[in-house]
Structure 1
């Protein structure tokens, strides 16, 4: 079969070393993030968190230094081009990375090699929803960093791509009024995607049940801005035993997405904002049918004592099918359950340049999943649902 060119809803960008020196206001640059190349020490992993130190005698890595934070780039987040056994947690410099990790022109070339027409990219140094800036002490600089990142994302990363690189922006998580203002500022220049935490309480922020985020959700609904929640945007990944190997964390990576979906389905947010669109990024989709079945069963059988009798007027799955998108790249169980997952809800990703990335074999991986499906469904999964979700004009006549 002929596979349509893919619109990937979850890829990643490694920030270029000049980002904040070029895009922060001049008066704030000496207080903002600065790039450094130096050695990295041994990485420790305990209870779902990494601890890393600088070591001038260690292997070189590119870092960002910001307030008390020392943030290194590691090989597993810039893994494309390395053999599978070399995709480690060792430090890496931009010179060692495939240039498509941080250079938009080179990224477009790699997309062409990978059967990808368009790509939505999550941040790395700011972390998946801007936690780096939310945790900073100096909020004047932190706000300027959020805006600088967004300006760079829109104007430099995406600006010359002819719409193939799709802007994904940050909000200042610590101030709801500023967050709303940033949604409107970016929507005015065509941005239709923002990244948000799957479980804000893990970041010390109010929950989605509190009403605190309602002005943000209202702004996203008003501007048709999709709320994208990446696994790990809670600053922690699910872990079992505290001394379990990282492979356990990787196996359970979808758990926070599942918890977040249950949170939203029973929060009333999707009732109050019926045109709000949520997107779960890198969570895969094979778990969704049972999660929806269980949510509907709880709604039918337990809603009185469960606290949602007067809050959720329809079965929770109705809100999922109406307003929520998932994505996959290796999930045959999800494909086998596609009618329950939702043929209009599923999108595709390549996860470039992370260790999970299907690059440069994405076409083969996708064909292995969709072979046997009808052409209309294949088009929806590979691009149509993403185009509709993000309001793209990639399929318009004459393009």
Structure 2
């Protein structure tokens, strides 16, 4: 196999919700509350009005296409972003130039799993907003290119019965993937360790819907306000270690043996240690902790029900069999700072070759595992040869997709000081100033 022959399925990318996405999707009784997009003064600080509340429009970390010296967390207006962040046609062009055949896209206004909609006081209206967002994603964002974009939906997770019904509703519309918060307790909801969520898990199993858990809470990743922002960036993916352990030790995977979870943006290299540590914990402590996995080990339950993904993880590729060759997938993370656009295929190919990965396993990692886990047939509407890295890049060249770095000048440094590393305090101060301006 050559690099140009790979087929890339990115299981974790992001979108910036565009203006007008809610138009025609809100019932008449709520039309006075319909979410509206507003451009800020001077083309800065765009924002949404949702349910009468002003929500700062955050293109947070949507820095793809900028020179690296302009990376940061501050993007706050569409004018500061590459169009592929919010325009589906431009997104396909950016996927083509990167050699990416298929993509799962999480929201920004909606958070990673619809968490912001939980704060809407009128829960009937909140449900309407969740469903309108889901319908837009399924019908317009993904529906415009059903051969390339995988539909994803959020849940009204303040109510498990409503959530279960939403799983079935979006499944009927062709959506096989939902997103769920990594720790519902942080949002005032019950944990994985209760029966509260059983209606949701049952619906997902019966409908063959995969559940993505994307890291979202950075509080545990910031030792102090003085910590360099680099420390937080380094720690964010490993936060899913905690979620994976909590989920494996919960009753969920044993009670619903056919359920499918996917850890989004967590990396892969740490997975073998987690599995080893859980098995050691079970062997040494289960007698007094009263854990019962029957004739299986925690690692075997994890392997059966939980998938993972990586962006740029050479060690994870090298130890892929310890990670779980049937459960490891690849992601691009467009348009965030960790993505390697437009060189993702090149970087991935380099690491696959360094690890001497055979062709059949390259196919598993790059697309076949993802096709199975997320119930999305890449080759239903297009032939394989039309979706390879080489074929897609040929399309991008023919279309003239421009990858020239955007020197917009909007990449304002978080700190006025040029001395020492940027700290978390600097970033918090910058974001706070932007919120006040909005």
TM over 0.5: yes
Cα distance in 1 for residues equivalent to 2:220 and 2:236 = 6
Aligned to 1:328: 310
- Bigger helix fraction: 2
Of 238, 248, 258, the residue aligned with 1:255 is 238
Of 161, 172, 184, the residue aligned with 1:200 is 184
Pairing 1:213–2:215 present = no
Whether the 8 Å CA contact 2:8–2:101 is kept in 1: the answer is yes
TM-score normalised according to structure 1 size? 0.90
- In structure 2, relative to structure 1, the CA distance for the partners of 1:398 and 1:24 (3 Å cut) is closer
Where structure 1 has 5 or more consecutive residues not aligned to the other structure, the ranges are 40-57
Alignment of 1:170-185 (within 5 A): 170-185=154-169
Q: 1:380 aligns to what SS in structure 2?
A: helix
Aligned to 1:276: 259
Aligned to 1:338: 320
Cα distance in 1 for residues equivalent to 2:115 and 2:219 = 11
Deviations 1:42-73 (A, max 9, x none): xxxxxxxxxxxxxxxx8712211334452222
**By how many angstroms is 1:199 displaced?**
1.3
Pairing 1:16–2:1 present = no
Of 67, 70, 73, the residue aligned with 2:58 is 73
More displaced 10-residue stretch of structure 1: 91-100 or 176-185: 91-100
Aligned to 1:348: 330
Whether the 8 Å CA contact 2:248–2:298 is kept in 1: the answer is yes
Whether the 8 Å CA contact 2:147–2:382 is kept in 1: the answer is no
Whether the 8 Å CA contact 2:45–2:56 is kept in 1: the answer is no
Whether the 8 Å CA contact 1:5–1:382 is kept in 2: the answer is yes
Whether the 8 Å CA contact 2:147–2:381 is kept in 1: the answer is no
Q: 1:35 aligns to what SS in structure 2?
A: strand
- Bigger strand fraction: 1
Alignment of 1:226-375 (within 5 A): 226-232=210-216, 234=217, 236=219, 238-308=221-291, 310=292, 313-371=295-353, 372-375=356-359
Cα distance in 2 for residues equivalent to 1:270 and 1:91 = 39
Alignment of 1:24-173 (within 5 A): 24-38=26-40, 60-66=44-50, 67-74=52-59, 76=61, 78-173=62-157
Whether the 8 Å CA contact 1:134–1:174 is kept in 2: the answer is yes
- In structure 2, relative to structure 1, the CA distance for the partners of 1:75 and 1:300 (3 Å cut) is closer
Cα distance in 2 for residues equivalent to 1:189 and 1:313 = 39
**By how many angstroms is 1:23 displaced?**
2.0
Aligned residues: 378
Deviations 1:87-123 (A, max 9, x none): 1223332233211111111111111111111100001
Cα distance in 2 for residues equivalent to 1:313 and 1:208 = 23
- CA RMSD after TM alignment: 1.8
TM-score normalised according to structure 2 size? 0.83
Q: Which has the higher contact order (CA 8 A, sep 6+)?
A: 2
- In structure 2, relative to structure 1, the CA distance for the partners of 1:196 and 1:167 (3 Å cut) is same
Aligned to 1:50: none
Deviations 1:185-209 (A, max 9, x none): 0111221100001111122110000
Q: 2:12 aligns to what SS in structure 1?
A: strand
